[in-house]
Amino acid sequence: MQLANISSSAWTDTVAQTWNFSAMAPGGTPQEATLWLKNIGSVTTEKVDLSLANATGNGLEKQLRITKLTLDGVNMLKGGAGADLSNYVAPTNCTVTLSGNDKITAAIAAAKPGAVICTTGTDYSTSWEGGPITINRSVTIASVNGPAASKISAGIIVAADNVTIKGYTITPATTLGAIDSIYLQSGTGLTISDNDINGSGVSGTTRGIEVITGGDFSGGLISNNKIHGFTTGIYTNTHTGSLAIKNNEIYNTTAGIGGLTGADVQFNKFHDNSEAIGADNTYVSTSTTLKNNEFLGDIVKNYNASVAVIAENNWWGDTNPADQVLGNVDYTPYAESSFVGFVNGADGTNTNGFADMQDLRLNPIVGFPFEMTKDTVHNLVMAVQLDGPTTGNDFQGGNLTTDMVVNISQ
């Protein structure tokens, strides 16, 4: 493999000063550069390794936020804010697999605790199931074919611990006097993941996920779901235990999350909602985390909580969050750019909510799947930004020197 930088058409095994930035200001515009790659060998390669070495700069590398890292436009970082349903992984540990003629309700009634009920049907409706699907045992229900091909339109009631719901399009229906996709009566160890929770076209006051007042949801996780088309995407109500709401995309609702309290809300993406978050007098700041989210034009509103809603270290789509909060909301410090992902999906040693240059040096990207045929040219693009909220005057006039190492292999 040979390399060239953006300012030269000469190919060589070593390129110096490809990224040579100066006068960076905390929270300033990310600076971007491109490294061109060409496979000069005779064998098509399938994997790319990327690492940094020999870093010097008095700790500056952990202040340099990686705002973009792509190979021919493909993001090399993992995670970040929002949800991704495109790579759904079907369960492989099925206790029973239902055919299109079987009912989920009947399978739950026959299941032992810990059973994994896999489904192949296209729509489990109210008429088919005889009402909402009540999960009153510690079981998993998971689609074999994923949310694009598997639907639950009967509504779901969770009334047991250690329940998992995975891989469906879930539309609202009348559950316990309300119109919900999922109604949570109780459930420690709950997991709701990899679903398209879709209220589009259903009239009335609808909620994607509703948490009953007073329930215990310790260890609960709502993750990697698209939640949209509801009056309220998630209504937490007052409960015990902290409910983790992470890596979801919540959009086209009147309120993305209503009655916010008792929740760890991180790395979600909110857009096209009348409001992203609404907190009222049930809000308790000590039991609620609201950070590392993206509010793209949506507002966070404190209706009448007795304390400030703590909404620090979020990205608001720009560097002026003041126009996206109503009432007593603490939004400072705020993120200076979007959360595009982490090196190898982990936050690294700094746990600062973003990928940084130190993360890439200490935890290199190994075996990134990418095909390079002979003599084809590819572009590796990196953009970095000096992090505004955490970079102090100690780094004024500082420099970072590091070597980027790129390897390709079969």
Residue-wise pLDDT tens digits, 210-249:
999 999 999 999 999 999 999 999 999 999 999 999 999 9
- Per-chain mean pLDDT for the chain: 91
User: Which among 49, 14, 16 has a CA at the least distance from the CA of 408?
Assistant: 49
Is the preceding peptide bond at 333 cis, omega within 30 degrees of 0? yes
The whole-number pLDDT of residue 307 equals: 96
More confident residue, 14 or 34: 34
More confident residue, 131 or 350: 131
Backbone φ and ψ of 279, nearest 5°: -120, 140
Please give the Cα distance from 195 to 4 (Å, whole number). Answer: 43
What own/partner pairs with CB < 8 Å and gap ≥ 24 does 120-127 have? 120/144, 120/145, 120/150, 121/150, 122/149, 122/150, 122/151, 123/151, 123/152, 123/153, 124/151, 124/152, 124/153, 124/154, 125/153, 125/154, 126/153, 126/154, 126/155, 126/173
The whole-number pLDDT of residue 314 equals: 95
Share of the chain above pLDDT 90, in %: 70
Please give the Cα distance from 350 to 247 (Å, whole number). Answer: 20
**235 contacts 258 by C-beta, under 8 angstroms:** yes
60-83 mean pLDDT: 91
362-388 mean pLDDT: 90
The whole-number pLDDT of residue 14 equals: 80
For residue 92, give both structure tokens.
């492989």
Reply yes or no on whether the pLDDT at 7 is more than 60.
Answer: no
Reply yes or no on whether the pLDDT at 69 is more than 90.
Answer: yes
Could you tell me the domains of the chain? 30-78+351-409 (no CATH), 96-330 (2.160.20.10)
147-167 mean pLDDT: 97
Reply yes or no on whether the pLDDT at 135 is more than 90.
Answer: yes
Q: pLDDT tens digits, residue range 275-308?
A: 999 999 999 999 999 999 999 999 999 999 999 9
For residue 193, give both structure tokens.
């993941």
The whole-number pLDDT of residue 390 equals: 63
pLDDT band at residue 29, thresholds of 50, 70 and 90? confident
Reply yes or no on whether the pLDDT at 5 is more than 60.
Answer: no
pLDDT band at residue 4, thresholds of 50, 70 and 90? low
Q: What does the CA dihedral 171, 173, 178, 181 come to, rounded to 10 degrees?
A: -30
Q: How many CB atoms lie within 10 A of CB 105?
A: 18
**384 contacts 357 by C-beta, under 8 angstroms:** yes
User: Which among 73, 77, 121, 74 has a CA at the least distance from the CA of 97?
Assistant: 121
Mean pLDDT is lowest, of 53-57, 108-112, 174-178, 336-340, for 53-57
Reply yes or no on whether the pLDDT at 403 is more than 90.
Answer: no
The whole-number pLDDT of residue 54 equals: 79
